[in-house]
Amino acid sequence: MHHANHYYGHSHVLARYCGLDDTDPPRLHGYLQHGWNIGDGLAPDHEYTPGVPSFLWSERTRRRAWSLGRRQGYVVGSPFAYLLAMNPLTDNDQREGTIWYPFHGWEGQHVVGDHDGLMAEIRRTEDGPVTVCLYWQEYRSAKLRQRYESAGFRVICHGYRGGWWKDLDPGFLHRQLAELRRHKRVASNRLCSAVFYGALAGCEPAVYGDPMHLENEKNAFGGQPRILREWAALHGPRVDPATAHRLAVDELGADRLLSPAELRRLLGWPMPASVPDAELTGVLTR
């Protein structure tokens, strides 16, 4: 329905959860929220077709969308929460240090800010090894990458998020989860999906440092000042992990996950051939 449904391998994760081929997820009949959002769940430049449902991460987002006239919102939870549900945390995870996500722009956007100042602050704050995860745009810039590396950070990139059905990366979220599970802390200079993902995946979150800004940044839905006010509890170098986890569960809809049968029906996906009929067909025997 929309190319953004396949960002970060989201639809691939859902296809896997639904028992379908996760290398080639079927067309998803609706718009899937692809990032944490303080608006109606979808990107500001998103083109809406009336009557097409939006599959949102959280109840809070659904309420906001409704208030904005988007009546076709359905809370399904975030793909990351599904991925985590399929790969639950264990006590065997060897966690060390911090994974740091510097605020990044998306395709065509440029971040303006002082990376050196940020690196110094990270050094001052974090006492363990630090992995910096750059967005593919920044990662491609050897100069920027080297700056972080020379500061003693391990620099990684989870991959390309894909777009317009090209260069899709089904492994994006898997790699992100694997990295998060290797770290004790997750941090960023802006509250974003990654921080919530980390909090849900058992990391202690933190949001600190110069939040930087995008060229011509518009404060949609209140922007950064509103995020600071509404989610104040998640800001600072030390954040209460229990509070953060609870908020992550809410924002990522981790308590609102659907059964595969319901999710398939909602997304307009077929029943997998491998599903044993006898097991799942309680209503009607095929």
Partner 1 sequence: MTELIGGEMIAWSDLDGTHGPAPAAGPEFGPLLATATGHTLVAGPHAADLIDALRTEQITLLVRGVPDAELLTARYAARPGVTVRCGSLEKLSGTYDTVVALDGLDRLLTTEAADLTWDETLAQLLSVLRPQGRLLLQVANLFGLHRLLALPPTPADTEWAPPDDPTRPTGPDAIRARLSAADVPVLRDYAAYPGALLGGEVLADPALRGFLEATLTAAPAPAQLADPARLIRGALRHNLADALAPAWLFVAGPGPAAPVALIAANASPATAAPSGGSTSATVAAVPPAADRPASAGSAGVGLVAGPVVAAEPASASSTRTGVAAGLLAAADRASAGSAGVGIAGARAEEVRREAGGRWVRGGGVPVPLGHTLEDLLVGAAQRRAVPVVRELLRAWQRSSAAGVPAGQVVVGADGVPHALRAGGKPVEALRRLAATLIAGGDTHLWPSPADEAELTALLAGMTGRELDPRDVPAAARAEPASIRELTIARDRLERELADARAKHEFYERQIANRDHDLKRLRQLNAVLSATVPGKAANTLVGGLKAGRRAVREVVRRSRG
Task: Specify the stretch interacting with partner 1 by CB under 8 A; choose among 44-52, 148-156, 189-197, 224-232.
Answer: 44-52
Print the SS3 string covering 128-150.
CCEEEECCHHHHHCHHHHHHHHH
Q: How far is CA 258 from the centre of its chain?
A: 18
Q: 179 vs 251, which CB is nearer to partner 1?
A: 251
- Measure the CA–CA gap between 182 and 176, rounded to whole angstroms: 10
Buried b (16+ CB within 10 A) or exposed e, 17-31: bbbbebeebbebebb
- Between 84 and 123, how does the x/- string for binding to partner 1 read (CB under 8 A)? ----------------------------------------
Q: Give the residue from 39, 17, 15, 7 showing the smallest Cα distance to 176.
A: 7
Residue 107 in contact with residue 198, Cβ under 8 Å? no
Residue 103 in contact with residue 113, Cβ under 8 Å? yes
Selected binder of partner 1 within 64, 161, 174, 256 (CB under 8 A): 256
By CB under 8 A, tell whether 77 contacts partner 1.
Answer: no
Task: Specify the stretch interacting with partner 1 by CB under 8 A; choose among 71-79, 112-120, 143-151, 225-233.
Answer: 71-79
By CB under 8 A, tell whether 167 contacts partner 1.
Answer: no
Two structure tokens written together for 100: 């740091």
Two structure tokens written together for 208: 């600190």
By CB under 8 A, tell whether 51 contacts partner 1.
Answer: yes
For residue 116, CA distances in Å to 149, 150, 209 come to 12, 11, 11
By CB under 8 A, tell whether 261 contacts partner 1.
Answer: yes
Two structure tokens written together for 84: 């985590």
Two structure tokens written together for 244: 């953060």
Selected binder of partner 1 within 21, 44, 52, 219 (CB under 8 A): 52
By CB under 8 A, tell whether 284 contacts partner 1.
Answer: yes
Which 196-255 residues touch partner 1, going by CB under 8 A? 255
How big is the site for partner 1, counted in residues (CB under 8 A)? 30
Minimum CB separation of residue 11 from partner 1 in Å reads 17
By CB under 8 A, tell whether 24 contacts partner 1.
Answer: no
By CB under 8 A, tell whether 70 contacts partner 1.
Answer: no
By CB under 8 A, tell whether 274 contacts partner 1.
Answer: no
Selected binder of partner 1 within 9, 25, 30, 170 (CB under 8 A): 30
- Measure the CA–CA gap between 282 and 186, rounded to whole angstroms: 43
By CB under 8 A, tell whether 271 contacts partner 1.
Answer: yes
By CB under 8 A, tell whether 145 contacts partner 1.
Answer: no
Q: What DSSP assignment string belongs to 42-90? A: S-TTPPP-TT--EEES-HHHHHHHHHTT---EEE---HHHHHHHHS---
Q: 2 vs 235, which CB is nearer to partner 1?
A: 2
Selected binder of partner 1 within 6, 34, 62, 190 (CB under 8 A): 62
Residues that bind partner 1 (CB under 8 A): 30, 49-53, 62, 71-72, 74-75, 255-256, 258-259, 261-266, 271, 275, 277, 280-284, 286
